[in-house]
Amino acid sequence: DIVEDLDVLHKLLHENFKEMSTWDVYLAEVHSGSLEWGFLHTEKFFKENAKHFEGPNSDFIVVKLLVALTTSNDEDVQAIACYDIGEFVRHYPNGRSIARSLGAKDIVMKLVDHQNKELQRHALTAVSKMMVQNWASVH
């Protein structure tokens, strides 16, 4: 009986298995509001996935969610949201004006004076990316 049950379970899992792309994992993390440092919050990820930020309806919902997460009660989530906004600005064509139009610059600017030094650093870097025309030339 148990062998049959395991076979049925294996068959159902195999039929319903969907491999998530890194973008799917990122999207789920942003929607959950629980951002954690890792491979999703890297320059490489943003280079490879910048176009996905438009969203299926071209409404930039993920960027809107990131802007909202900068007001989280969790300072790590705020820092990661700042980092992600900065990377979006850097890698998405016209990302600067999109982020500004969504209010990112003003909200992130308020975090530049935060008492948490790590959050302060990520906020300052994000604001810098929003203000610099050609980030690549800064390095």
Tens of pLDDT along 45-82? 999 999 999 998 999 999 999 999 999 999 999 999 99
Q: What is the pLDDT of residue 9?
A: 79
Tens digits of residue pLDDT in 6-27: 888 777 766 665 667 899 999 9
Tell me which of 12 and 109 has the higher pLDDT.
109
Mean pLDDT of the chain: 90
- Determine whether 117 is exposed, middle or buried from the number of CB atoms within 10 Å of its CB (0-12, 13-18, 19+): exposed
Contact (CB, 8 A) for 124 and 130: no
pLDDT exceeds cutoff 80 at 139: no
